[in-house]
Structures are given as C-alpha cells and as structure tokens.
Structure 1
C-alpha cells in the first residue's frame, strides 16, 4: 500500500489548533481499539493488520504530532506528556468512553502516561485492557542505536537531523528486523516519504527527546504499570535488538495482571515482519 492510499483512509482532525491525521474504521457498535504507534514511523506501521483488526474492533489510530501526516510545528515541545494530551483529546472528540489500548515502541510511553492519569482517576475514559508491544519503557535496558544516541544529544542532534537521508534511514530500519528480507524497498520509501512530509526532517531531533523523558519520568511511568489493575497483554518480538526480551520479562514481574506472548525470530516491528502471527495474538 502506498502513502496516498493510506492517507485516503483517514482525515485531519483539529486538536489544540494542530491537525492530527486519524484513521477510524470498523463497526462503531463494536469494542474500540485505540493504537499508539512508534518512532520514527507512523500509523502506516499497521497497514498490513488493519483489515483483520477492523473485523473485531472499531479501530482508531492517529499519527502523533511530528509524525506521518499530522502537523509538524517547529515551535513545539514534542513532549510525551503533550502527545498523551493530544491522544486523550482526540478520543474525547470521537466520543470514546471505553477502549482497549494498544501501544508499540514510542507509543508505550504515551500509554504509560495515560495509565498514570487513569490510575489517579484524572481522565474520563475506561480502559478495559492494555496491549504492550516492544517498547523500551525500561530505558536503562534498551540497546539504543548509534543514531538514536546522536539524535538525543543536544549538541549533535540538530546536525544529525540535517545529515540524515534515505540511505541512512533505510539501513537503520532494516537493522531492527530479524529477517531483513521482510521489509521491502517500497515500504521503506513510503516510511521515508511520510517522515519527510510537511518538513518532517526539521523536527526529528525534537522528537528524539522522548528518550530523555523516559529517564526523567521513569518512576511515574514504571510506577503506573506497577499500580494498574488493567488486564495487560504483553506481545513481544523476541529478537528485537532495541527493546530487548529482558524488558518484557521485567514487565511480567511488575504488572499485576498480565499475560506474555512471544513472537520468535522477529525484530522490532512485529506487525510488519510477522503480521499474521501478531494479529492473531492481539485478537485472541
């Protein structure tokens, strides 16, 4: 699927004076699944699995600000706290009262901020279940790529963002797959197109500050997972070179009501690398 076809599935919704690209598919009478995507990609990560998900759920997935087809303002914090604000306001505008929350990678930290507020009854949203996939919430265990380290550094990040090009991007995305042949050149080109869309390269170094926030808010967000009573399904690609399997193992100890499901011989993007296996675990 190309980017134009994906874009035509959604619409731009105004949230706090910013346009947020949102896909809302499936029967509105069914249970609602909301999805928080990862970094540095977009909602496009779910193009292979969306048709199956929509058979069971009303599926709502948006591009975080700074990603995909959403707005990418220059003067903006891109804090995970604000990304949570945007997600919650979007869901409020769509009239959601009860959801299953699924998050991957960067999205898992947005999710833990939402869970922290949910624990304190600060939001008017019932979360019936939580699904976590390959996210480095335990940032101290994460095996960050060199480019991630450079982009989070306040001295180097602006220059690295300027120098980043498609060959560098393509190499870094391929390297987080277990089977490098599972990602096509067309997919990589579409991912890059969406990253560049609307001057995206000018904000990518701001987006990378999420790594620093994972250290700053570690106690708040890991504490939220320890406190929550929400039934949680942990679906983890076992061969992820970034969000390693030790993180999933630790989450099973910390989250009170959880089940862990492994996807073997699979890297960081299980919904793209092993979509059939991944979607069966989500829908089970």
Structure 2
C-alpha cells in the first residue's frame, strides 16, 4: 500500500472510532461578566456563547457562586449559550442586610425568576447543584413552560439522598433557634468549615485536584458577620426544602423533562441513593455516577461537559 493511502486509512479509522458528538471540536466563547437589576438588586452573572444557541442556566450551591462553573463554562460555550448567576446574598451579587431581609429559598427563587425575566430567557436547560436544587425547583415550578431539560449534579430532591445525621442536622437547624445552635451554624461558614468540611472533605487522597481558588473565592464573600449570617439563615430554612420534596417529585412525574443526572458518588452529604431515586419519577433519565465528591464540577468538568454535550445532542 502506498504510504499516503496507509496514512489516510489510519486517520479514517481514528476519526470513525471517536463518537460523532466528540468529533466536531469547537473553540470556547469568551466569558463576559455582567450585572443586571432585579427588583432593585444588582445580580451578577457570567455569560458566554451565542444567544441563538440553546441556553443552559447554571445554578450554584453552598458556599459557592457562579465561580464554581469557571471551568465548565468554556467547555460548553462553543456549542451553547451559557448563563451562570450569583444568588442574591452570594458572590458578586447584592447582599441586603440580613437584619432587615430574611434569606429564604423562596426569596432566592423569586429573585432568580426576576433574573430570567430581566434577561428575557424564554427557554432554558437548567443545571442544578446543591442549593441550586431548592432554588431551581421553585423556579421551574413558577415557569414550567420555559424548561427544556434538566441537569442534576448532586442536587437532592429525595429523602434517600440524605443520611439520618444529615436529616437531623437540617431539622435541628430549623427548629433550634438557641444562641448555641446559631454559633454552631455560624462556625460552619468559616475557614475550616468551607475549606476542610466542604472542598477538601471528599478528596482526601487527591487534594491537588481541588483548586484553592474555590474556597479562597468563597471565603472572600464570607468575611463579615453580615455575610455569614446570610448563609446561617439559609441553613435554618433548609428543612422547608425537605418538606417540599413530594411537591418537586410530583412536578417531575407530571412534566417528565428530559433529564441528565451526573452525580459525584463519593459525596457523603447528598449520597448517591438520592441520584438513583430520581429514576422512580423519571425512568428515562440518564444517570451517571462519577468518581467524584459533592463538588464534582470542580473535579470532573470535562466528564460532565461530555455528558451534557451528548445529552443535549440526543434531546
């Protein structure tokens, strides 16, 4: 065989061995950093990609912000229109004084609904992680006609996803308003609570995979008593999310949105039984358990992006 024919055959074999969704590599779009007024509050968000492409709305968890998605956004932005906001009270968004504003997940969801209205988002795929679930479920129950698909990453909606100690923690945080309990919750929002009990907890044998930028960024927005009290109030409100699980599950059964579940199986906070429980109400959902922890998007952004690209192509 002539050398050039041999080379062509080898290239062809390699190309066709790669899945179609992975063959067409694209350059990422530049991420832009913006703010928009929502009900008199400045809401910060990251945006990348062509608005003519399908929109993916990324909702962050605790103790984080849209900074969580700094690696995922470029991996998606060549194909999709990607938007990642900071919740009211988090990141670069406004933080009304918690002495005058009681922070609840209802409040965060109302602001997020106003955010989608302000941006004119008529349809979107919703990505949820951690606190992103209680904000996200409230959001899509307000505007179900806008939801095109759901991406669930360590975002709990089932009792199976909570261990008995975790359930007791949220119940106690809600019911016990003593100074002692308040101090306990407040201490969680400090350096050791954020760095050691959040980001490094699930990666003890591979800590170099976790960027120190993650907790450094979060702790910058938890420097003051006022900022930390915001998160304490959300801990105190979390039991209302657990009480709402049956409503969220009924919504999923009724709406049956196309759903991708990418779950860090090493997460001791939201255990992977919570991921498997989704299949009761969404038997056609795609479920992938990743060798990662609670912050799977920090550990496995490329794996998650691959699953999303394939899922969105099949949707």
TM range (shorter): 0.7 to 0.9
- Conserved 8 A contact 1:228-1:255: no
Structure 1, residues 227-263: CA drift from partner, whole Å, max 9, x if none? Answer: 2221111111111111111111110111254111221
- Conserved 8 A contact 2:86-2:93: yes
TM-score, normalised on structure 1?
A: 0.85
Mapped to 2, the partners of 1:100 and 1:197 lie a distance apart of 35
- The structure with higher relative contact order (CA 8 Å, sep 6+) is 1
SS at match of 2:286: strand
TM-score, normalised on structure 2?
A: 0.78
Aligned residue for 1:137?
157
Gaps of 5+ in 1: 1-7, 120-124
Structure 1, residues 131-180: CA drift from partner, whole Å, max 9, x if none? Answer: 11111222464143998777554224432354453133211121134643
SS at match of 2:132: helix
Cα distance, 1:114 vs structure 2: 2.6
Verify: 1:228 aligned to 2:255, yes or no.
Answer: yes
2:182 to 149, 158, 161: 158
Structure 1: 4+ residue segments shifted above 4 A: 145-153
| Cα distance, 1:130–1:251 mapped onto 2, change above 3 Å | same
Cα distance, 1:60 vs structure 2: 0.9
Cα distance, 1:68 vs structure 2: 1.1
SS at match of 1:225: helix
Mapped to 1, the partners of 2:62 and 2:230 lie a distance apart of 13
Aligned residue for 1:61?
84
Cα distance, 1:58 vs structure 2: 1.0
- Conserved 8 A contact 2:170-2:236: no
Cα distance, 1:271 vs structure 2: 0.9
Cα distance, 1:212 vs structure 2: 1.0
Mapped to 1, the partners of 2:261 and 2:186 lie a distance apart of 36
Higher share of residues assigned helix: 2
Mapped to 1, the partners of 2:41 and 2:91 lie a distance apart of 14
Cα distance, 1:43 vs structure 2: 0.8
1:26 to 39, 49, 64: 49
Aligned length in residues? 271
RMSD: 2.5
